[in-house]
Amino acid sequence: MGSYYDVDAILTDAQKVPCTMELTVPGLGYLEGNMSGDIKQGSKVELPLWLGEMLALSQSLNTSSLVTLDPPSALAPRVLNALKADPRTVDLRALAPHFYNLGARILELFEEEEMIEILSDSFKSRAGVIADQAHNPRGALGEGADFMRGLDENERQLFRAAHDSAKAVRTWMTDVKK
């Protein structure tokens, strides 16, 4: 998925996901702020996605995996319900800077047909608003400011692309008039 040097992919992988330890590991207590102790079986820790994924999927040494992954809070049912109700009012950036990328990575690990539908639909309806904002520079500063602040990284790139191409055409048109 993506290039090795893709900064957005790296940042996506660095986002924390909740994991439940399946084993008691001596000396790893600092993961939950317990400097000297052991980490107990069943305790919950926040691990970066890349680490959690590796620990959850590695089953080479013994039969049970080290941790189990839980869906991150950014993709909790509460958020998905809010997206279903009105995608435009959700502040995706506060949930996760790379919301859609995180969603895509989680969907690789969990099978959730409904989540695909919800994410696609909200991406589409938010893209419509993004296009309107990109063609209306005043709106991006005025009433649309809250929405613009809530865009995730993918949507920001989309906004920039739409804005730049509209600007290029406008520049060309003023050049022609001279």
Partner 1 sequence: MALPLPPGLTPPEVAFLCEMELVTVIPRQRLEGLALLGGPIAALNPPHRTSLPLWLALLLKRQRRANILPPPWLSPHSLTAILDHETENEEGFSPPPRLPPQPSNNTLPISPPFLPSSTAEAAPDALPYHWLELGEMLLGAASDDFEDPDNVRKLLRGLREVRMAKLRKGVDVLDAGGGVQMNGVGGMEVSEGRAFIGGVVDGLRKIAASREQQRRDKEREERENGYPGTGDYEDDEMDMQ
Across 42-72, b (16+ Cβ under 10 Å) vs e yields: ebebebebeebbebbeeeeeeeebbbebebb
- Comparison of 16 and 163: residue with beta carbon closer to partner 1: 163
For tokens 């994410």, name the residue.
119
Restricting to residues 52-111, name those near partner 1 by CB under 8 A. 100-101, 103-104, 107-108, 111
Q: Where are the alpha helices (DSSP H) in the chain?
A: 7-13, 49-57, 77-85, 92-95, 99-109, 113-134, 137-141, 145-149, 153-177
The CB-of-164 to partner 1 minimum distance in angstroms stands at 7
The CB-of-35 to partner 1 minimum distance in angstroms stands at 39
> Is 67:21 a contact under the CB 8 Å cutoff?
yes
The CB-of-168 to partner 1 minimum distance in angstroms stands at 5
Tokens of 85: 């109700």
Separation of alpha carbons 10 and 2, rounded Å:
10
With binding defined as CB under 8 A, does residue 132 bind partner 1? yes
Among 1, 10, 36, 85, binds partner 1 (CB under 8 A): 1
Among 38, 114, 146, 164, binds partner 1 (CB under 8 A): 164
The CB-of-115 to partner 1 minimum distance in angstroms stands at 9
Separation of alpha carbons 159 and 11, rounded Å:
20
**Chain contacts with partner 1 (rule: CB under 8 A):** 1, 100-101, 103-104, 107-108, 111, 113, 116, 119-120, 123-125, 127-128, 131-132, 134-135, 154, 157-158, 161-162, 164-166, 168-169, 171-173, 175-178
